[in-house]
Amino acid sequence: MIPTPYYLIDKSKLLPNMEKIALLRETSGAKALLALKCFASWSVFDFMSEYMDGTTSSSLFEVKLGHEKFPGETHAYSVAYADDEIDEVIASSDKIIFNTIGQLKRFDGQSENHVRGLRVNPGVSTSEFDLADPARPFSRLGEHDPETIASVRDQISGFMFHNNCENDDFDRFDAMLSHIEQRFGFLIRDMKWISLGGGIHFTGEDYPLEKFAERLKRFAGENEVQVYLEPGEAAITGSTTLEVSVLDTLHNGKNLAIVDSSIEAHMLDLLIYRESAKMVPDEGPEDWMICGKSCLAGDIFGEFKFPEPIRPGDRLSIQDAAGYTMVKKNWFNGVKMPSIAVKELDGTTNLVRSFDYQDFASALS
């Protein structure tokens, strides 16, 4: 039995997402790139590459990881490239997407023989959180003025629009894409490829995948462009759990259970957005608050229902522990970093990475 805590990536739960992505690619003509900012656990990249076209990135290190570990295309994007990394970014990528015209001009010489694109901010998004809203006031994410963008269209061959965030509403996606076409259509028609970014929850239950595919195909045909999507959560949602063990219990107005993990160290995104973790099943007469072992008072995974009282030694599975979670794990309090295990399609489970004190020490100085 693998010692807790560990992240368990289950290929049988990853597979349905991959099959929907493959179906969308076939019916729409769009290409799908894994967004490494969301999920970068490369032990399953070979498996995912059978259903996806490559990766997209947010930094030099992600570009290199995609280039080295994920067969297919490697798109490079960054909010800002540094002088000392631009050559390596270009060498490791098939396309480079600049966030601003200023960066495009700054690195024009180094990138002139590379496939180049520009991020465009359409001024609308689906984000419910100001923290994550790419179209928030004074946003630094992309160029927004069509006439200004038109002045450099002969220097690029594509655009990247990223304005969806956990958007599971096709009609809302459709309306925003129509807004993009209306405002930037005369520029889009001069391009060869368009990335519509990520954040579209098209692998979710009951999502109208056929309508989505038809809309993408129509957009591509009317504008004569190759469409790219950059799924992150859509690719890995529901595929991974954080396996933990109960270390202690107490009662202080509520039943409390302390586990050998930490939401701040191991599921930081939930803490940032003040969201509860998920546990399935969440039912029964016993109400328990599941707490992390760090010294942060608010290190709380959430409150859940159980059929029986919780006792030290019990194992719990925290759901949806892949997206924006494994990539954000940290060494706060020196809490043991969860190992990474992969459950194969035949049911066997393999430990692929573990961490120890030397990893903790080497991350510091």
Residue 276: pLDDT band with limits 50, 70, 90: very high
For the cut 90, the answer to whether the pLDDT of residue 216 exceeds it is yes
Q: What is the pTM of this model?
A: 0.96
Q: How high is the mean pLDDT of the chain?
A: 97
**DSSP string covering 57-82, please?**
-SSHHHHHHHHHHS-SEEEEE-S---
For the cut 90, the answer to whether the pLDDT of residue 32 exceeds it is yes
pLDDT tens for each residue of 163-189:
998 899 999 999 999 999 999 999 999
Where are the alpha helices (H) located in the chain, listed in sequence order? 11-28, 45-48, 60-69, 86-91, 101-106, 108-111, 146-150, 170-188, 209-223, 233-236, 263-266, 268-272, 357-362
Those residues with Cβ within 8 angstroms of residue 228's Cβ, 6 or more apart along the chain or in another chain? 30, 31, 32, 33, 53, 56, 75, 193, 194, 195, 196
Question: Within 13 Å of residue 86, how many CA atoms lie on the same side as its CB?
Answer: 19
Structure tokens at 67: 């280039």
The Cβ of residue 210 has, within 10 Å, a number of other Cβ atoms equal to 12
CA distance 74 to 96: 9
For 341-364, what is the mean pLDDT? 97
Residue with tokens 């993990």: 261
Residue with tokens 């009662």: 251
For the cut 90, the answer to whether the pLDDT of residue 84 exceeds it is yes
For the cut 90, the answer to whether the pLDDT of residue 7 exceeds it is yes
The pLDDT score that the predictor gives to residue 128 is 85
The pLDDT score that the predictor gives to residue 55 is 98
CB 16 within 8 A of CB 236: no
CA distance 158 to 189: 10
CA distance 137 to 144: 12
Calculate the CA 319 to chain-centre distance. Answer: 16
Residue with tokens 């807004």: 179
CB 240 within 8 A of CB 339: no
For the cut 90, the answer to whether the pLDDT of residue 335 exceeds it is yes
CB 69 within 8 A of CB 35: no
CA distance 88 to 331: 29
pLDDT tens for each residue of 146-169:
999 999 999 999 999 999 988 999
For the cut 90, the answer to whether the pLDDT of residue 71 exceeds it is yes
The pLDDT score that the predictor gives to residue 314 is 98
The pLDDT score that the predictor gives to residue 179 is 96
The pLDDT score that the predictor gives to residue 166 is 85
- Which residues lie across from 349 on neighbouring strands? 343
Looking at the chain, the whole-number percentage of residues with pLDDT higher than 70 is 100
